[in-house]
Amino acid sequence: MSNIVAIVGRPNVGKSTFFNRLIQRREAIVDAVSGVTRDRHYGKSDWNGKEFSLIDTGGYVLGSDDIFEAEIDKQVELAIDEADAIIFMVDVESGVTGMDEDVAKLLRRVGKPVFLAVNKVDNAKRAEDAVEFYALGLGEYYTIASINGSGTGELLDALVEALPEKEDVVEEDLPRFAVVGRPNAGKSSFINALIGEDRYIVTDIAGTTRDAIDTKYNRFGFEFNLVDTAGIRRKSKVKEDLEFYSVMRSVRAIEHADVCLLVLDANRGFDGQVQNIFWLAERNRKGIVVLVNKWDLVEKDHKSVKEYEKVIRKQMEPFTDVPIVFISALTKQRIFKAIETAVEVYNNRSKKIKTSELNDVLQPIIESYPPPAYKGKFVKIKYIMQLPTPQPQFAFFCNLPQYIKDPYKRFLENKLRDNFGFHGVPISIYMRKK
C-alpha cells in the first residue's frame, strides 16, 4: 500500500497545477474558473524512490450557501481522513485570508503531518511576503511556484521523510469498468449505491462529475477499478472548455476501459447521444453492458421490460448481443446484478478458444453454408484461429478472402456467438489468404 497525501486549500491557489506537476499528466482539469476540481482526485507520484498516492481536493470553502461548496467541504474532510500527510496550499498573492484561517483551524486538530506550501512565490519580494503565513500557527512553511516547479524539491524531501513506512503490495493490473452515459443519467448515484459511501458529489445539476475518477472495488471475490466519467454531451452543448476536457476524459476512459457500463435514463431512452457513446465503445472493441436506470420511476405493465428491450435492440443493430439490465440507483434495485453482468462480460472479452475446438465446431457449419460463389469462383475457408489480442479477434484463412462480403462475416460472427458465447463483446473477423 502506498501512502496517501492530500492537497487541500481554498479554491484557486494552484492545487491542481501542483498535482499535475507531481503526477506528470494532465489528470486534474486546470482552469481559471474558481472551484473547478469538485471531487477528490487520485494520482500516483514518487520522490527519492518513495511512491505515494495524491489526492487533489476541491477548493475548501467554509460556511458557503453554494450547494457544491458544502459538498466539497465534505469531500475535503474525507480526504483528510484518508491521508497520511497533508499539503496545505495557500497563495502569496492574496496573503492570509479568512478561508485559509478556517482550513488551518481544521488542520491544527488533525494530528497528521501538515506541510504549509506558499504558492506563486517566484521572486525575492514574494519570498519576503510569505512570512505572514506563520500567523496560521502551522509552523514552518515552504515557498513554491507550482507553475514552474521551483521550491517543490524541498517540500517533497520533507514530505517523504515524514511518511510512515508501509509494506509493499504488488499493484496488480485490475480490470477497468467505466461507467459512461449522458449527463444526469445517474452514473455517480449508481457508483455511490454500490460503494455505500458518498465517494462522488451527487447533486441534481447536470454535469457535476467533470473528471473521470477511479475507485477500487471488490465484489463476488473479484477486484476491479470502477471509473466514473463526466457525462458525455453533444459537441454543440460543449460551451465551456471545462466541458471539452470532460468529454475528452470520458472518451479516454472508454479507450482505457475493459468494460463500459452504459447508464441511460429510462425516461429518455436509447437516444442519439446514448447511441453515440454505445458506438464509441463498440468501435473501441470494449465489453458493453447497458444499464437502464430510474426504472422505478417508469409506469409498467407486464410487457414493459420486453417491449423496452426490443426497442433498444432494434437501435443497436447489427451488434445486438449486449446484456441490458434494468436498475434503480436510488432503490439499489439490481445494481449488484449490473456488476455481476459486467464481470461476465469481462470474462467473455478475455476468453480464448482452442484452435482445434474452433475448427471442429465451425468447419461443419461452413461446409453446410459455404460463402456464396463470386463470378463463378468458389470460396473455401480452410482454417480458423483466434488471434492473441486482448479482445476476441478471429482469422479465417481462405483461398479468396477478397470475395467474402459483410453479410457472410456477420453469419460467421453469429455462429461464433451461438457456440462460444461472447455476450456483450464486439468480435472482429479477418479474412486472410491461406
Residue 419 scores a pLDDT above 60: yes
pLDDT tens by residue, 225-267: 888 775 555 555 545 444 444 455 567 678 778 999 999 998 8
Residue 155 scores a pLDDT above 90: yes
At 149, list the grid cell.
516547479
What beta strand segments (E) does 229-346 contain?
Answer: 259-265, 287-293, 324-326
286: annotated binding-site residue? no
Residue 171 scores a pLDDT above 60: no
200 falls in which pLDDT band (50, 70, 90)?
low
60: annotated binding-site residue? yes
296: annotated binding-site residue? yes
184: annotated binding-site residue? yes
294: annotated binding-site residue? yes
Specify the pairing of strand 259-265 against strand 176-180: parallel
206: annotated binding-site residue? no
CA dihedral 182, 184, 188, 193 (to 10 degrees): -120
380: annotated binding-site residue? no
Instruction: With CA atoms as reference, report the closest residue to 5 among 62, 50, 36, 70.
Output: 50
237: annotated binding-site residue? no
CATH class held by domain 3-162: alpha beta
Residue 83 scores a pLDDT above 60: yes
Residues 190-213: what's their mean pLDDT?
A: 63
pLDDT tens by residue, 387-400: 998 889 999 999 98
Residue 182 scores a pLDDT above 50: yes
Residues 410-434: what's their mean pLDDT?
A: 91
Task: Indicate if 176-350 has the same CATH topology as 3-162.
Answer: yes
Report pLDDT for 175. 84
pLDDT tens by residue, 363-385: 999 999 988 888 888 888 889 99
Question: How many Cα neighbours within 13 Å face the side chain of 332?
Answer: 6
10: annotated binding-site residue? yes
Q: What are the residue ranges spanned by the domains of the chain?
A: 3-162, 176-350, 355-433
Of residues 118 and 69, more confidence is placed in 118
Lowest mean pLDDT among 3-7, 58-62, 191-195, 349-353: 58-62
352: annotated binding-site residue? no
Could you name the CATH architecture of 176-350?
A: 3-Layer(aba) Sandwich (3.40)
Between CA 131 and CA 135 the distance in angstroms is 8
62 falls in which pLDDT band (50, 70, 90)?
low
198 falls in which pLDDT band (50, 70, 90)?
low
57: annotated binding-site residue? yes
Lowest mean pLDDT among 25-34, 155-164, 262-271, 386-395: 25-34
Global confidence as pTM: 0.63
Between CA 55 and CA 4 the distance in angstroms is 7
Residues 166-185: what's their mean pLDDT?
A: 72
Residue 114 scores a pLDDT above 50: yes
15: annotated binding-site residue? yes
122: annotated binding-site residue? yes
56: annotated binding-site residue? yes
Residue 193 scores a pLDDT above 90: no
Q: Are 74 and 198 in contact (CB under 8 A)?
A: yes
Residues 77-95: what's their mean pLDDT?
A: 85
Residue 206 scores a pLDDT above 60: no
Of residues 205 and 277, more confidence is placed in 277
Report pLDDT for 183. 77
Query: What is the CATH topology of the domain spanning 355-433?
Result: GMP Synthetase; Chain A, domain 3 (3.30.300)
Instruction: Please give the share of the chain, as a percent, with pLDDT higher than 90.
Output: 29
Report pLDDT for 118. 95
352 falls in which pLDDT band (50, 70, 90)?
very high
pLDDT tens by residue, 37-47: 445 466 778 88
